[in-house]
Amino acid sequence: MVKIKPTSQVIEVTDIKNNTTDLYDSIREAARVLNLPNFNIIRNYIKNNQVKPYKGQYTFKKIYVS
């Protein structure tokens, strides 16, 4: 279960090869778990509204929490 902080940005990561979806309470956490060299990869993916999966495997989506 994800503990949501009031100021955090929940990130939904979908692995299209394994057909799984995970929620992370920050972009940095998602990048760390996926072993990405830089969290800006996810930030830019979301900012540029990319549709094509990152490395042909992952899609990222920001979840807005009220």
Domain count within the chain: 1
Residue 17 lies in a domain: yes
Say if residue 4's pLDDT is above 60: no
10-58 pLDDT tens trace: 999 999 999 999 999 999 999 999 999 999 999 999 999 999 999 999 9
Residue 1 lies in a domain: no
Tell me what pLDDT residue 64 has: 79
On whether the CB atoms of residues 11 and 24 are closer than 8 A, the answer is yes
Higher-pLDDT residue of 29 and 2 is 29
Residue 2 lies in a domain: no
Residue 23 lies in a domain: yes
Residue 52 lies in a domain: yes
Rounded-to-integer distance, Cα 33 and Cα 6, Å = 22
> Which domain does 16 fall in, by range?
10-63
Residue 20 lies in a domain: yes
Q: Which residues pair with 61 in a beta bridge?
A: 12
What predicted TM-score, i.e. pTM, was given to this entire model? 0.81
On whether the CB atoms of residues 30 and 14 are closer than 8 A, the answer is no
